[in-house]
Amino acid sequence: DAKTTQPPSMDCAEGRAANLPCNHSTISGNEYVYWYRQIHSQGPQYIIHGLKNNETNEMASLIITEDRKSSTLILPHATLRDTAVYYCIVRGYNNNDMRFGAGTRLTVKP
């Protein structure tokens, strides 16, 4: 699976949009981009995933660049409960060896 690079930490003001970047320049055509988050001491939680089109669900939006070498997770109206470590993972559609990196620690401030 392609390697991902994320900033180690970010801050966001409560009520504002949080934009979390991820670089995956070696991604191949059949690899998906997944986002998970881990709130302190809990198991990771699925957020969203996509292949090449932008995706939106009740939690977030995923914007993937046209060349697929990077993506951005957007939390449209961040709340204090969104404070967590966010993991960007690239994984082949049929590859079950999902590996997490260090992620981005997002802190939402009042």
Residues engaged in binding another protein (CB under 8 A): 32, 34, 36, 41-46, 49, 85, 87, 91, 93-94, 96-103
Half-sphere exposure of residue 48, counting CA atoms within 13 Å on the CB side? 22
Min dist. Cβ of residue 85 to another protein (A):
8
The residue among 45 and 65 lying less far from another protein, judged by its C-beta, is: 45
Can you read off the two tokens belonging to residue 8?
């180690």
* Cα–Cα distance measured from residue 14 to residue 58, given in angstroms and rounded to the nearest whole number: 18
Closest by Cα among 98, 94, 93 to 31 = 93
User: Two tokens at 68?
Assistant: 């697929």
Give me the least distance between CB of 59 and another protein, in Å please: 12
Distance (Å, whole) CA 101 – CA 110: 28
Q: Rank residues 53 and 94 by Cβ distance to another protein and give the closer one.
A: 94
Shortest separation between residue 94's beta carbon and another protein, angstroms: 7
Shortest distance in whole angstroms from residue 52 CB to another protein: 14
- Element containing residue 15 per DSSP (H, E): none
User: Of 96 and 110, which has the nearer Cβ to another protein?
Assistant: 96
